[in-house]
Amino acid sequence: MTLIDKSTIPATGNDQIDSDHAEFISLLNQLDNADNLEFAGLFRQLHEHVAAHFERENQLMAQSLFPAESEHKGEHQRVLSEFKQFQSRVDKGLIAFGQAFIRERLPGWFAIHAATMDNVLASYIRQNRA
């Protein structure tokens, strides 16, 4: 089963962002197919990936003087806060909470975030290169 088919997420044209998106999709799909023994480790791996992924985007926004930086970073903080809450539950062995987050929350959020906020950021960077 595949939660997100990579072909349904349009490329932004920014190699760094697109690479991070491909890794996110891969990890999310691995988690969807993970058994309970594998789930906790993969969930932590996705959580760490998302934190690093968001930090790379935050650096791109700062370097490019992206005008919507505060809104985009705010979205990153909100999602990281959710991850932290679910990570705590998964760490306690409450795998079903993590599975629900992976299956019911992240795919829809990611599709919208990638198509809107990340696409706008990549477009801004392309149009404002020195």
Average pLDDT over residues 109-117: 95
Say which CATH architecture domain 16-127 belongs to.
Up-down Bundle (1.20)
Contacts of 112 (CB under 8 A, 6+ apart): none
Domain boundaries, the chain: 16-127
pLDDT in tens, 15-62: 999 999 999 999 999 999 999 999 999 999 999 999 999 999 999 999
Q: Can you give the pTM of this predicted structure?
A: 0.93
Reading the block at residue 70, the tokens are 């505060």
Distances (CA, A) of 44 to 50, 69, 116: 10, 27, 26
Pick from 35, 25, 28: nearest CA to 96: 35
